[in-house]
Structure 1
Amino acid sequence: MKPALSVIFFTVSSGAGLGLLVWLLIASLMADHIRMDALTFYKGSAIAALLITAGLISSTLHLANRKNAVYSLTRWRTSWLSREGLLAIALYPLAALHLYALDNGLPQVTPVTLWLLVALAIAIMFCTGMIYGCLKTIPRWNTWMTPAKYVLFGLMSGAVLLPAVLSLRPAEVGPVGKPMMAILLLAIGMVFYVAYLLKHPRKTHLINDALGFREGNVRLLDAGHSHGTFLTNEFGFVLARERARLLRWAAIVCGFVLPLLLCYFSKWFWTASVICLIGLLVERWLFFAEAEHVVRLYHGQQRVLLPVPC
């Protein structure tokens, strides 16, 4: 698949913002233990809102017709994209209600809105992953690991951002402790990503399958066009093996290893957050670049969904 930079930025930015929102809300329940004052909570909420909103706006840049953004919201019964959009829109008034309840001292309302926001943020990340995970035409994506990865990496990047936000507290509160949740999720995320890379597909789709031939050696004699088409441009993206291997290592090192080391051995939480987001951008670019649509079988490719060499 041809990677779309706007979608890559959207999935990483909104995932980090939603993950940060989840951990801010949970941390607000433990304000005495974490020592998070109201001003720091609002600063973190503003950063989360900025990441989510920037991601959502960037996602519309991938649409050829901007009106499609409106039409897509009407297909919620069958479309994960529509469900994601509707849930993302619902997030804003619910967040506003939660902040209003906090400001006006409504203890009977805040627990309800808090856990609804947590559930809604996780549901949005799940829907984003299912947009790609439900596509049987791209077998590499069609696995439970795709939505799980989107949720896990969103929560992970948000957990790395949380100590950076806590570092904005007044100096008299004291230094931020070791962010064990971020360290734990970075370790889990790294193991999960390596397992995702090493996962071999159960079936390799051949050009014979596309034409319904069980025997023989099928090959394309004529592509039917002399120039590139939309299908070959969008779905015929080829990534060199050596370049893919280098980018995988860059994603592992920047997305997981360096942030984990920085969180464990230093207080450079903002640096860890930026490096983590860069690594996830590389990982998400690979996610699209390595995907093989079965339509490529009709344009001469002999097979799709080859095992990923590490």
Structure 2
Amino acid sequence: MDYLSVIEMLNACHGPSGDERQIATTLKRLAEPYADTCHIDTLGNLIVHKKGPGPKVMFAAHMDSIGLIVTHIHKEGYLSFGKLGGVHPESILHTPFRFKNGVCGVVALRPGVSLKDMTIQDLYLDIGAKNEAHARRLVQVGDTAVSRMPSFTTETKLVSPYLDNRISCAAMLDALSHIRAYTNDLYFVFTVQEELGLRGSKPAAYSIDPDYGIAVDVTVGETWDDPQKGSSILGDGAAVKIMDSSVICHPDVIKLLETLAMESKIPFQRDVIVSGGTDAGSIHVAREGVRTGGISIPCRYLHSPVEMVDLSDVTATVRLMTAFAQKKL
């Protein structure tokens, strides 16, 4: 799969938390050739089903992104905004954003505020409007905006906004296309509103009632300034989740994933993070409980417009998902 092209296609859609319809429609079109059924549920999750005789296996990757939402339009034409998900002011200052209707703007800092003291409330969006009336012809309070930064590759790395979690969506599509032995009853779910508290995966897991759940997401990759933020290293393979702040993974699933990786010679590592959650947090407590694990792609600079992954880790994740999907459980 050409991951750069897929990421560019997905990021061209408007898909912040709560407004994922465009990206769900695009993913549905890409998944339909490999599925028995595809449907979008009430909350907006895309559920792709490939029928099989064995236990129900639910793979989940969230398709929503963090973003901005307009809270006030000033008389000068500037826009105050709130955040959708974990938006950090230092990561978005002086970067371009795009509204659903195509209007673009840049994030700027209110005069007189120092960089070290700034908060989200000190930032504003400048869309080039002459005044409030002009701005209101372009956008409204409640409109949402997403990053307009470009995507690119550098040797083995892919850099882009919203690799959290569009790269896992691409990996799920790739895995779906590689599955040949339909031993299990497979559900590939592209979830909504994960960035706002794992909201979409909860009703999806309740509806599917899976026997096994695998959350596919990015995880904190090492950085030179603080290697202790996460256990995973870019380029060292798929990260088998042990725990995050939302879940302690089922030991049977951890063991199975690691055994499959060793048997298939798939590079893997262990994923332990003490902050940040995944859809596994909602899935594992659905109904009477679900045997739940996770496969993570190490990522640097999370929740910034320049997230970075190693493509070899993406490939390893696809191989491990495919092996799990085809394993007789």
Question: TM-score with structure 2 length normalisation?
Answer: 0.29
Task: Identify the structure with the greater strand proportion.
Answer: 2
Question: TM-score with structure 1 length normalisation?
Answer: 0.30
Task: Identify the structure with the greater helix proportion.
Answer: 1
Larger radius of gyration: 1
